[in-house]
Structure formats: C-alpha cells, structure tokens
Amino acid sequence: MRKLIVAGNWKMNTSVADGVELAKKISAYAEQKNLPAGKEIVIAPPFTHLASVAAAINPNKVILAAQDCAATTNGAYTGEVSASMLKGIGVKAVILGHSERRQYFKENSEILLKKIKLALAEGLDVIFCIGETKEQREAGANLYNNVIKAQLVDTVFTLTADEFKKIIIAYEPVWAIGTGLTATPEQAQEIHEMIRKAIADNFGKAVADDTTILYGGSCKASNAAEIFAKKDVDGGLIGGASLKADDFGKIIDAR
Ligand code: PEP
C-alpha cells in the first residue's frame, strides 16, 4: 500500500542512552499526534541501540528499522548482523543500498540483491536507496536517469511483484546527502515520476501507484513541506534533521 512515511536514518550517531531518549520523544510525539492510517514514522538507529530502542517505543506508532543487514544467513561472518537477528529483536524494516554503504563499503547491486532477498525472507520491509552522484547529475538527464534505472533493474526489478510490494524506494541524490544542497521540489518530482514510470513498465501501473517513494538529501523542517507536496513524493528519508526530536516532529507534520 502506498503510504506517507517519514523515516529517520541516525547513521553512526548518538550514545545508546541519548538514542533511547530521542526514540522515546519521537514515540511520545507519535502517540500524541494520533497519525492517520497510512502515515508512518520510521527510525533507524545504529545496531547497538536497536534492542533498547525497541523496548522504549510504542511499536504501533513507530516502526523500528536497521541501517543495514548481512548479505548471508547466520554463520561464520565476523562482525555481520543478519536479517533474522534483526527480526528477533523487534526490527520491522531495513535500509539497504544507502549511498554511504555503496561508496565506503563497496556495496554493489549483486550484494544488495542478496541483502534484499534475505530481509524479505524474514518479513522485513526494505527501504531501498538509489540516486546519482554529483558527476552523474552534471553529465545530464540522459545519464542520471539511466544510472537510477539501472540501480532498479539490477536489483528490485528482478523480484516478483509480490516481493516488490514490500519495497519502499528512497530517491537520494548523492550530491544532496549531508551537503546542505537539496533537490528542488521540481527536481525531486521529475525523478520520482521517472521512477514510478519505470516501476509501471516493469510491474504494471497498479503496483507503481501503490509504491511509496521517499525523497532524501538535506531534507529539513524548512523545506520538507514543499518537497512532500509534490504528487510523486510520499515522504522522506531524513539524516541529520532526524537527530533532534523537535526538527523531526516538524518534518512529520510537513504533510
Ligand atoms: C541520508 O543519509 O539518508 C540523508 C538523507 O541524510 P541528510 O538528510 O543528512 O542529507
């Protein structure tokens, strides 16, 4: 079902104690707002925080997500955290394909597809991030549209339509992440529309109309409303501005 989602990606920030406090404030905010059906709040704290945060939030009001999961099932993979382990502590969703994972940890489509399938097999929703770099944007629309489409074709477009229904797409232009540069509402809409059309071409219009497509990249309280007002933008994946409950609350209220 197409939803309106505001998701906070905390990245590698906050102590466990501070993270639990932040999560409690967001949960209390969600309870007090009594959000309409179809509007959801997601938070993605670091792995170390997940169990404590799971115990601190109202799971009916805030969806707990992880920022990554392993590309393998349990076993001899030192340092990894599997999708089944995440599920076991109350995690409901996972962010995959974030540009920081692609850039710093060399995650490519092949690895990401393995992660996606394992997450789906555990019943987790997947927030799948795609987007072009600054150089790709500057090379022109033909190139960046093809880059974004390829990120879909090589991964989530190989799923069945039923599997794809558990995928939330996050369009995150890499040049806008953590840079203070934001896509204009028109730039965001142009890409979201292109993504929805690509989904329609692959899975049919009904699936495309039902897909939630988030925008991410320096989205904050001051610009969220105009971006979220665009017809193909179904909310946001928020980094820096999700670390302060007040700011995150204003973004939740933006639409
Ligand atoms: C992100 O990392 O997903 C993100 C959108 O970050 P920021 O909002 O800080 O640009």
Which tens digits make up the pLDDT trace of 44-97? 999 999 999 999 999 999 999 999 999 999 999 999 999 999 999 999 999 999
Distance 100 CA to ligand 1 centre (A): 10
Is residue 215 classed as helix, strand or coil in its secondary structure?
Answer: strand
Which ligand 1 atom lies nearest to the CA of residue 219?
8
> Which residues are near ligand 1 (CB < 6 Å)?
9, 172, 177-178, 216-219, 237-241
Q: Reply yes or no on whether the pLDDT at 255 is more than 90.
A: no
From atom 3 of ligand 1, which residue's Cα is the shortest distance away?
A: 239
Indicate the pTM of the whole model: 0.97
Distance 58 CA to ligand 1 centre (A): 25
Which tens digits make up the pLDDT trace of 142-185? 999 999 999 999 999 999 999 999 999 999 999 999 898 999 99
Distance 195 CA to ligand 1 centre (A): 19
Residue 172 is among the residues annotated as catalytic for this protein: yes
The domains located in the chain, with CATH, are 4-254 (3.20.20.70)
As a dihedral over the C-alpha atoms of residue 95, residue 82, residue 87, residue 63, rounded to 10 degrees, the angle is -20
Q: How many helices and strands (H and E) does the chain possess?
A: 12, 8
Which ligand 1 atom lies nearest to the CA of residue 172?
5
d(CA 127, CA 171): 10
* Residue type present at position 157: F
Residue 110 is among the residues annotated as catalytic for this protein: no
Distance 178 CA to ligand 1 centre (A): 5
What's the confidence (pLDDT) of residue 25?
Answer: 98
